[in-house]
Structure 1
Amino acid sequence: MKKLILVACMAGLISCAVDKSKELQTQISSPEDKMSMTFYLLADGSPGYTVSFDNKVVVDSSRLGFELGDQLSLRDGFEISNTLTTSLDDTWEQPWGEQRLIRNNYNELKVELTNKNQINLNIIFRLFDNGFGFRYEFPQQEKLAEFEIMDELSEFNMSDDHEAWSIPAYAGNRYEYLYKKAPVSEFGMVHTPLTIETKHGLYLHMHEAALYDYPSMVVKNMGGTNLKCDLVPYSKTNPVKAYLKAPFSTPWRTVQVGETPGELITNYTILNLNEPSKIEDTSWIKPGKYIGVWWEMFINLGTWHQGPKHAANTENVKKYIDFAAANDFSGVLVEGWNYGWDGNWMGGGTKFEFTKPYPDYDIEYLSKYAAEKGVYIIGHHETGADTENYDEQLEDAYQYLEDHGMKAVKTGYVENGDTLPNGLYHHGQYFVQHFQRVIETGARHKTMIVAHEPIKDTGKRRTWPNMVSREGAKGQEYNAMGGSPTDHVATIPFTRSLSGPFDYTPGVFDIR
């Protein structure tokens, strides 16, 4: 082990040092030396790291590792078997978005670890000049052919009691809360993205990138200024966090850094930590403005369900199409068009049908009428959070959208609480996997996804650019339910919106 590290040190790839408390340290810097990271093993073989920006501590000494099922611990007892360093300076093009060309410039350190039970675990660090990310890699090995994650030990130990803007996790209303400013020492459980203003004048954005086949990360206060990753469990009755098979790579844990709040907005660390697009022809992906048949239901002028006030009827939708065509809107969202709204549909109370319109909604006629006007209808797939019912119909539902020229769909997962009707967590591994099936089905049928009540954005729009927008916050539809304070509007760009495009529902000014 020490010979391998020594060779790397002599080659100038990483710098190494030893102190009394840490058996071994390896360091790596960002391309312009703005960020620096130290990986270390304690005397008992426990892995950890620290990160600085311009010689200011961003993350103080913090633990890494896992607790697995069958009482198998990846907490300590490690030795370094190898280290590898790589660099990249590349520019890639977004098919759509706020900036066409994005530079991807980082230095990477991969630390290969082996513990006393001969289990291999790799930790990969990428340092950009304005942020960093790290992820775990479980190489293929017989002992981890199938395994369970019980806890991820990743910590983010703050250097001081910084102020932060956060929303609560496990609070029963998904991500739809007002952001509260408080010292990190006062946290309980909070969602990411988490925005922090440090005592030494830096602004941090803590989040994750490339979330696949793994539960969402929540940040938990462990006392004082020590923050820890808390993975959303599979369900309230099942403490397992994830069921995995090696080889497997976790999402990236990310911290973006700015010397001003605005620098967080133009920071593309999360996108750069996602893989390039898997959609070769992206010419059909063209986000645009849309209006919708939905606000009149919010203010009780119309209904989603059938009856004399049913809003999604042919004549009413024609008026919206005409307005969209006259005012340069790309699409018209139609809610309440399909069977499933009659009854208590929230939480899977009814079974939505995604290829069966209500009798007063002539989808054939309206699709052609919209196309003649240069507008397209945006489909609406409310599921009542019944993901199993949606999964059973996915292929037929998206073929139906494609057949009727509906270039985009708004998905919805409304439920009362933080679990799905099947009892699994809304932000756990199961829902992340379901959500990915929807994205990939949409891609096959050339459908853009606008997701409400979603799993949070982690930069997937680089890999799957048909995933154009999400809700996942307290939007302006709450103006029909008492409204939000005006500072919420100014807070959102520096909190929720740092993770990606946001369906905030602008344009709602009055509840009458």
Structure 2
Amino acid sequence: MIRPSRSIQTLCIFFVIASVNVAHAQAPLRVSSPDGRNEVSIGTRDGAAYYSVDRSGKHVILPSRLGFAFRGLRALGDSVRMESSSRNTVDTTWSLPWGEVSRVREHYNELRIQLVETTAAHRQFTIAVRAFDDGIGFRYEVGDAGLGDFEMTDELTEFAIADDARAWWIHANVPRPDRYEDLFSASPVSNLDTVQTPLTLELQNGVVAVIHEANLVDYAGLNLAGRFESRTLRAALAPWADGVKVRGRAPFVTPWRTIQLADRVEDLAPSVLGLKLNPPSRIQNTSWIAPMKYDGIWWGMHINVYTWGQGPKHGATTANAERYIDFAAANSLRGTLVEGWNLGWDGDWIANRNGFSFTQPYPDYNLPVVAAYAKSKGVALIVHNETAMGIDNYERQLDSAFALYERLGVHAIKTGYVNDKTPEGHAHTGQYMVRHYRRVVETAARHGIAVDVHEPIHDTGERRTWPNMLSREGARGQEYNAWGGEGGNPPEHETILFFTRMLAGPMDFTPGIFDILIRHGS
């Protein structure tokens, strides 16, 4: 079912190899977007590699550090020279099976610079830069010489913001570590602590910039750390439990560090910069994948009308599920989500995270019957998989659970990762969980299942490669109107999401509450 797909493409490539003059401070090399407005410069000063970004002659990122720190090894990037460079231009068009647009033009100019250490190890790495009309992306491609197996303690990438821009942000570490469920704040960039991406910046010179990442694979998720009264932000990768940021073996490539660029905030939304920096789809037949509106058995738990666990108020019964399916069919909703259907919800299910079964329903819920009923009504049954961050327990059951859903004609799941960390102390946005999220999406694709994730890693454009990665409830959504400490979500919250969180990709806000008085059960 899955194999590399081939798009009809128009490709123009101009390839130039250039030797670079070695000097104490090497003159920067520059690459501009096809429209000439966005420009990235790469150079060295006192042996250290740096980059900068301009838009229409206005500074966006001042010269900023590049490099890595490794356990037991000298930092990479502090004593280097530019050895060689190459350039090309790509102009190609490809299709999306679903989303904001059906056709995407991928048009960029690329500069690749090989840097070599001037010290004895002579390790080398390449900075690859792509300049688009809607922004830029750069990444590291690190060779294997002198590195081998490594433990990265820091990525040293910095973002020296050109002025004290107004930043729209949420915390990365408080009140709940590595979660996206917070209200956005606005403040000068010099006041930032550690924040999530995407980070939207309104510069005083009129440029709007959004810092994020693309194609996050087997690496740690990107946060940004500020320094008090400084406009320089530094990459702050989410660590493993022991503090190491990334484990791997050279050669390796990093995710793209992206900076979306525009002249007005409203011009940010049409950009699909992250998608353009991800590989093509690996799913040949995508006809079964589509976003949807859905209802579901979930809100009743938040207002104490239903319970997830078994008992007199158990929400996920066969009869109740069929009632919700009937409502969906009568109101042109394409799906019904059922939470609390499977064994494991009784008692302290967060602490007992390894007690969840993803195949065995409660006695009052007949999964095959509900699946067949939904199909007869033309409604997609969305099966809920809450893990409570019991990752080993979930991964042991992935294949058997997804095979069961496939046999029953279920093509959508919603996963959940309530809990701040795994039992071993791994964060949602660290490399351990990045690997897990990708494993779930790939396994789901093999079984014809689309995925909606609650408590996810942020979107970095994976849906181009894996179109079954449908959405994420990775923000402060509708459930906070049931019990949010601030009295629920303020009216402006949703308008801010459009220019911040949703620039990363699709979002499941779980809207659709009909009783706005919110009558709680006892």
**Pair 1:196-2:194 in alignment:** no
| Number of residues of Structure 1 aligned to a counterpart in Structure 2 | 495
Report the alpha carbon displacement of residue 13 of structure 1 after superposing the two structures with TM: 8.1
Q: Which amino acid aligns with 2:277?
A: L
Q: Which amino acid aligns with 1:232?
A: A
Describe how 1:78-477 pairs up with structure 2 within 5 A. Answer: 78-115=80-117, 116=119, 117-141=121-145, 143-173=146-176, 174-223=179-228, 224-235=230-241, 238-415=242-419, 417=420, 419-477=421-479
Contact 1:386–1:422 under 8 Å retained in 2: no
- In 2, distance between residues paired with 1:213 and 1:198? 33
Report the alpha carbon displacement of residue 282 of structure 1 after superposing the two structures with TM: 1.0
**Pair 1:502-2:511 in alignment:** no
Q: Which amino acid aligns with 2:103?
A: L
Report the alpha carbon displacement of residue 507 of structure 1 after superposing the two structures with TM: 1.7
Q: Which amino acid aligns with 1:275?
A: P
The alignment yields a C-alpha RMSD, in angstroms, of 1.7
- Provide the residue aligned with 1:65 in structure 2: 67
Identity %: 45
Report the alpha carbon displacement of residue 54 of structure 1 after superposing the two structures with TM: 0.3
Cα distance per residue 1:240-285 (max 9 Å; x no partner): 1010112211000000011111211111111101111011111111
Report the alpha carbon displacement of residue 413 of structure 1 after superposing the two structures with TM: 0.1
Secondary structure at the residue paired with 2:75? strand
Report the alpha carbon displacement of residue 348 of structure 1 after superposing the two structures with TM: 4.5
Q: Which amino acid aligns with 2:65?
A: R
- In 2, distance between residues paired with 1:12 and 1:160? 35
Report the alpha carbon displacement of residue 71 of structure 1 after superposing the two structures with TM: 3.0
Secondary structure at the residue paired with 2:250? coil
Cα distance per residue 1:152-199 (max 9 Å; x no partner): 110110111000100001114211100000000000000001011110
- Provide the residue aligned with 1:55 in structure 2: 57
Relative to the length of structure 2, the TM-score reads: 0.92
Q: Which amino acid aligns with 1:204?
A: A
- Provide the residue aligned with 1:4 in structure 2: none
- In 2, distance between residues paired with 1:209 and 1:334? 32
| Unpaired stretches in structure 1, ≥5 consecutive residues | 1-10
- Provide the residue aligned with 2:48 in structure 1: 46
- In 1, distance between residues paired with 2:73 and 2:149? 14
Report the alpha carbon displacement of residue 72 of structure 1 after superposing the two structures with TM: 2.4
- In 2, distance between residues paired with 1:287 and 1:382? 21
Relative to the length of structure 1, the TM-score reads: 0.94
| Unpaired stretches in structure 2, ≥5 consecutive residues | 1-14
- In 1, distance between residues paired with 2:211 and 2:19? 26
Report the alpha carbon displacement of residue 17 of structure 1 after superposing the two structures with TM: 9.7
Secondary structure at the residue paired with 1:438? helix
Secondary structure at the residue paired with 1:57? strand
Contact 1:83–1:109 under 8 Å retained in 2: yes
Report the alpha carbon displacement of residue 297 of structure 1 after superposing the two structures with TM: 1.1
Secondary structure at the residue paired with 1:303? coil
- In 1, distance between residues paired with 2:398 and 2:254? 27
Report the alpha carbon displacement of residue 232 of structure 1 after superposing the two structures with TM: 0.9
Change (3 A) 1:311 1:12: closer
Secondary structure at the residue paired with 1:462? helix
- In 1, distance between residues paired with 2:37 and 2:18? 16
Change (3 A) 1:130 1:18: farther
- In 2, distance between residues paired with 1:14 and 1:508? 61
